[in-house]
Chains A and B, each alone.
Chain A
Amino acid sequence: MKAAVIVFPGSNCDRDLAVALEKSSGKAPIMLWHRETEVPQGLDLIAVPGGFSYGDYLRSGAMAAHSPVMREVKRMAEKGVRVLGVCNGFQILTEAGLLPGALMRNRDLKFICRDVHLKVENTETAFTRPYTKGQVVRFPVAHHDGNFFADDELLKRIEGNGQVAFRYAGADGTVSDATNINGSRNNIAGIVNGKGTVLGMMPHPERLIEPKLGGADGKPMFDALVEALS
């Protein structure tokens, strides 16, 4: 698998994603600077990391979505290259129009950093195949703007197309307002595009990839990408 991690000024999970990709693939990904106007040939996966791109002093991800490298990411995505956006990466992908919806301030207006339980919904993608439908996994979140919004019509379409990848849930898989950490519509924590080739998610799979860090539920996602894209 040939993977690249985008680096914006203010990205701060770029190294963490690179470590996770390397741990699964045995190969360090290419780090792509935001000003690049061309991406290397033959990429299988582009990862857009968490952080505060350009400081996120405007709407989170809004400036990064218009950076030179994102034009190329969009072009690659159209060709079917897999794109994974985590946290700020998810915000950037929605701002860039690669994924529907928007991410607003958390319901209680506070930054939230903790492990959360997620219910896996769509297991038909290269990202989510190793999980079983309805499985409960534990990933950390660390965000201030993770409140997923879509209007009624869009929400119906996302749900109808099976684009929901993960929902915030309880340890037993209950999806309710009490398990909705940030006010996201329908507890949505991650979605894919219509083709299932682009995944955006607020939780950080790269942060739980070995028991020493507190869990390894994120590891299968990277292993599966390596398997599907090698």
Chain B
Amino acid sequence: MSKITPEIVAQHGLTADEYKLVLDIMGREPNLTELGIFSVMWSEHCSYKSSKKWLKTLPTKAPWVICGPGENAGVIDIGENLAAIFKMESHNHPSFIEPYQGAATGVGGILRDVFTMGARPVANLNALRFGSPDHAKTRHLVSGVVSGIGGYGNCVGVPTVGGEVNFHSSYNGNILVNAMTVGVAQQDKIFYSAAAGIGNPVVYVGSKTGRDGIHGATMASAEFNADSEEKRPTVQVGDPFTEKLLIEACMELMATDAIVAIQDMGAAGLTSSSFEMASKGGMGVELELDKVPMRETGMTPYELMLSESQERMLMVLVPGKEDMARAIFEKWELDFAVIGTLTDTGRMVLKWHGEVVGDLPIDPLAAASPEYDRPWIPTPKAPEVQPSDVTELAWNEALARLIASPDLASRRWIWEQYDHMVMGDTVGRPGGDASVVRLHRSNRGLAVTTDCTPRYVKADPVEGGKQAVAETWRNITAVGGRPLAITDNMNFGNPEKPEIMGQFVGACQGIGEACIALDYPVVSGNVSLYNETAGQAILPTPAIGGVGLVDDLDKTASIPFKAEGQVLVLFGQGDRKGWLGQSLYLREIAGREEGAPPPVDLVLERKVGDFVRGVITASDTNTVHDIADGGLLVAVAEMAMSSGIGAALTVDFGGPLHAALFGEDQARYVVAVDAAKVDAVLAQAAAAGVPAVKIGVTGGDALSVNGGVAVPVKALRDANEAWLPEYMSHGA
């Protein structure tokens, strides 16, 4: 038995204080296997030790929430005895080191979080952030991440229906790969992870265990440095084919009454799955590690406990059901092994060919892991940017540059590499405000989206946090959906720096306020900290995944104009004249990345959104686009480009035109309404106190503003479509 030196402790990412706690809990010096277990269980990634205090403040309840944070994924009631089960999770560090496998296994991991609860996955989304397009690694990373997501999702046969992509130099050394899965389960067939029943068998299914991914969770809990490339062996390797078999085998077993509890083996593999199951159920476990199916010879208990080999699950079965369960997994040609039993000791006892090689108390490890109240300082408020101080470029030139800029250019090159139609229920394809996936054999659907505007969060974490939530709510509303709940994927820098911790605290506050105002709770989430390289932190990026319900798929809306001669109505503007601070116009046209971001008025947000949804469900429109990055004119241009139909706009908000056209005021939608209906719709808006103003008419094949020049829609579309494929075709 090796002596545990301070060097070994440090290599395991534990502080001296934490190691003291280890000694207290153990009452003796741990052996290497035990130390490894403490190391991963107490890593930031698994323990949420820096973030827990603030995550607890988020609103997680609503009458339709069946299960909030704490399980593998969040569960909401979507009616007709169905539940939507979803979560978003980061795979940032591995994806930077090995983009294809990092992204692929990110998809695999989040899929397992969802189907482990009994849901068949019906949609994947991904929120991606890359470095500056000029950075030498960006192309390689985009290419690897996109093919990794596609390679995995396409093979498992779950449609990848949406997501978002930003480019910014702050991600040069730390890209973000956040993957989200949405699944659907019968409400009476939801599976949880709390172990129960003394003597019940603990069963391992799926792939064999290899040496890949050992200490992946620890890697994800530290800053990067120049040696990070050497961590490539800690990146796991995905096998989507096995995952597909695992989905089908689990679904088949879940249709029986054999499963007591089930948990996927994700970060920290067998360690975290067994500890979490036992801890939640207040049980003890005895594992016979030599029974674990192994991919290679000579593996040690240490390696078996810490491996992050993919496509594995741990289950507690009803005694006597082992043979029936084994037959299902053997039919799907997957490993199945009874590797242990539940005990009443409250301890994890690890055996290797009969000899005890580890003996740890479960609760202090899993439930009583360290929790820090890290010092933080609030982000100072940035000054407002006055439109009169911002360069005014002719609208047509500004528009042409904006729609061809990296953050607004078409993402078709990406989503055409993802199978977004498999399963035959994709009603709203990628490229819309939210994607819509029909609930199988029904006329209802789920509206799903991801969003975050990191530059807003950097400038003002509270407003930026609100905005990320509000924008997903708006996306779902814009397709006619009722927003129900979110998952949050909090990507930040090093929490040991008070200003970074301040960003985290502010974002949590903003997210919380928006969730309450919009009745839109957090039901699951993930935190990724230490996204820094050589001291350079990423923009704070609390990516939000939103899920809503479309009650009648015959009453939805999409972005493209459907007809000429329809009146365009702008909802939500009120007396605002256009907010240019932190806008893409300011960054791309004026070359300034500064100022306070647009404030989010949550009362207005809700009032306007509820009204627009009502216009859609009353069938008074089927053409809606919410206004986000780039402002009003970019939104209208996107409606034109996706349809080929032009529009003539008349815009005057009483301030400078560039602020009106490109300001990024929140809580706004552009809606196309038949000329015959428009007066009635405007009268209803007035009665409801919702700001609404006519801004133009659809028609022709060009876009014009206040008379004068007209820009051909085709030219806009060509520029919008060209940037990403051209960028990706160079070099690399």
Residue numbers of A with Cβ under 8 A of B are: 9-10, 12-13, 15-16, 19-20, 50-52, 54-57, 110-114, 140, 142, 144, 204, 206-207, 212-214
In the complex, chain A residues whose CB is within 8 Å of the CB of B420? 113
Contact partner of A16 among B156, B416, B422, CB < 8 A?
B422
Are B421 and A212 in touch, CB under 8 angstroms?
A: no
In the complex, chain B residues whose CB is within 8 Å of the CB of A114? 416
Knowing A52-B155, A113-B419, the reply to whether A213 touches B240 (Cβ < 8 A) is no
In the complex, chain B residues whose CB is within 8 Å of the CB of A56? 155, 241
Q: How far is the CA of A112 from the CA of B410 in the complex (A)?
A: 16
Are A55 and B416 in touch, CB under 8 angstroms?
A: no
Supply 14 A–B pairs (Cβ within 8 Å), ascending by A.
A9-B332, A10-B245, A12-B155, A12-B422, A52-B155, A55-B155, A55-B242, A57-B241, A110-B417, A111-B150, A142-B419, A144-B154, A204-B421, A207-B424
Residue of A nearest to B556 (CB): A212
Name the distance in Å between B454's Cβ and chain A's nearest Cβ.
28
Contact partner of A10 among B244, B415, B421, B423, CB < 8 A?
B244
Knowing A19-B424, A114-B416, A206-B424, the reply to whether A12 touches B156 (Cβ < 8 A) is yes
Are A112 and B427 in touch, CB under 8 angstroms?
A: no
Q: How far is the CA of A213 from the CA of B438 in the complex (A)?
A: 9
In the complex, chain B residues whose CB is within 8 Å of the CB of A52? 154-155, 157, 240-241, 244
Q: How far is the CA of A157 from the CA of B270 in the complex (A)?
A: 58
Enumerate B65-122 residues with CB–CB distance to A below 8 Å: none
Residue of B nearest to A57 (CB): B241
Are B416 and A113 in touch, CB under 8 angstroms?
A: yes
Are B424 and A142 in touch, CB under 8 angstroms?
A: no
Name the distance in Å between B102's Cβ and chain A's nearest Cβ.
18
A12-B244, A15-B423 known; 15 new pairs, CB 8 Å cut-off, are A9-B244, A9-B245, A10-B245, A12-B155, A12-B422, A16-B423, A20-B424, A52-B155, A111-B154, A111-B419, A112-B416, A113-B417, A142-B419, A142-B421, A206-B424
Name the distance in Å between B517's Cβ and chain A's nearest Cβ.
33
Enumerate B389-437 residues with CB–CB distance to A below 8 Å: 415-427, 429
Cβ-closest 9 pairs across A and B: A12-B157, A55-B241, A16-B424, A142-B419, A52-B155, A111-B417, A113-B419, A114-B416, A111-B150
Are B553 and A13 in touch, CB under 8 angstroms?
A: no
Are A112 and B333 in touch, CB under 8 angstroms?
A: no
**Is residue B626 within 8 Å, beta carbon to beta carbon, of the partner chain?**
no
Are A113 and B332 in touch, CB under 8 angstroms?
A: no
In the complex, chain B residues whose CB is within 8 Å of the CB of A206? 424
Knowing A9-B332, A9-B333, the reply to whether A207 touches B421 (Cβ < 8 A) is yes
Q: How far is the CA of A141 from the CA of B425 in the complex (A)?
A: 16
Residue of A nearest to B151 (CB): A111
In the complex, chain A residues whose CB is within 8 Å of the CB of B241? 9-10, 52, 54-57
**Is residue B532 within 8 Å, beta carbon to beta carbon, of the partner chain?**
no
Are A51 and B157 in touch, CB under 8 angstroms?
A: yes
In the complex, chain B residues whose CB is within 8 Å of the CB of A113? 154, 415-421
In the complex, chain A residues whose CB is within 8 Å of the CB of B418? 111, 113
Residue of A nearest to B245 (CB): A9
Are A213 and B244 in touch, CB under 8 angstroms?
A: no
Q: Which of A9, A113, A114, A207 has the most CB of B within 10 A?
A: A113
In the complex, chain A residues whose CB is within 8 Å of the CB of B429? 214
Are A213 and B426 in touch, CB under 8 angstroms?
A: yes
**Is residue B308 within 8 Å, beta carbon to beta carbon, of the partner chain?**
no
Q: How far is the CA of A20 from the CA of B332 in the complex (A)?
A: 26
Residue of A nearest to B143 (CB): A110
**Is residue B594 within 8 Å, beta carbon to beta carbon, of the partner chain?**
no
Residue of B nearest to A51 (CB): B157
Residue of A nearest to B445 (CB): A212
Name the distance in Å between B415's Cβ and chain A's nearest Cβ.
8
Are A213 and B419 in touch, CB under 8 angstroms?
A: no
Q: How far is the CA of A57 from the CA of B421 in the complex (A)?
A: 22
Q: How far is the CA of A13 from the CA of B425 in the complex (A)?
A: 12
In the complex, chain B residues whose CB is within 8 Å of the CB of A51? 157
Q: How far is the CA of A56 from the CA of B157 in the complex (A)?
A: 13
Q: Which of B157, B239, B244, B332 has the most CB of A within 10 A?
A: B157
Q: How far is the CA of A55 from the CA of B245 in the complex (A)?
A: 10
Q: How far is the CA of A206 from the CA of B417 in the complex (A)?
A: 20
Q: Which of A10, A13, A50, A140 has the most CB of B within 10 A?
A: A10
Contact partner of A112 among B417, B422, B425, CB < 8 A?
B417
Q: How far is the CA of A52 from the CA of B242 in the complex (A)?
A: 11
Are B157 and A13 in touch, CB under 8 angstroms?
A: yes
Name the distance in Å between A170's Cβ and chain B's nearest Cβ.
16
Are B421 and A140 in touch, CB under 8 angstroms?
A: yes
Residue of A nearest to B248 (CB): A9
Residue of A nearest to B418 (CB): A113
Are B422 and A142 in touch, CB under 8 angstroms?
A: yes
Are A213 and B427 in touch, CB under 8 angstroms?
A: yes
Q: Which of A9, A56, A140 has the most CB of B within 10 A?
A: A9
In the complex, chain B residues whose CB is within 8 Å of the CB of A10? 155, 241, 244-245
In the complex, chain A residues whose CB is within 8 Å of the CB of B155? 10, 12, 52, 55-56
Residue of A nearest to B239 (CB): A55
Q: How far is the CA of A197 from the CA of B157 in the complex (A)?
A: 28
Q: How far is the CA of A10 from the CA of B244 in the complex (A)?
A: 6
Name the distance in Å between B439's Cβ and chain A's nearest Cβ.
13
Enumerate B418-476 residues with CB–CB distance to A below 8 Å: 418-427, 429, 438
B222-245 interface code vs A (CB 8 A; 1 in, 0 out) = 000000000000000001111011
Q: How far is the CA of A15 from the CA of B429 in the complex (A)?
A: 20
B312-353 interface code vs A (CB 8 A; 1 in, 0 out) = 000000000000000000001100000000000000000000
Name the distance in Å between B143's Cβ and chain A's nearest Cβ.
10
Contact partner of B427 among A55, A57, A212, CB < 8 A?
A212
In the complex, chain B residues whose CB is within 8 Å of the CB of A214? 429
Name the distance in Å between B727's Cβ and chain A's nearest Cβ.
15
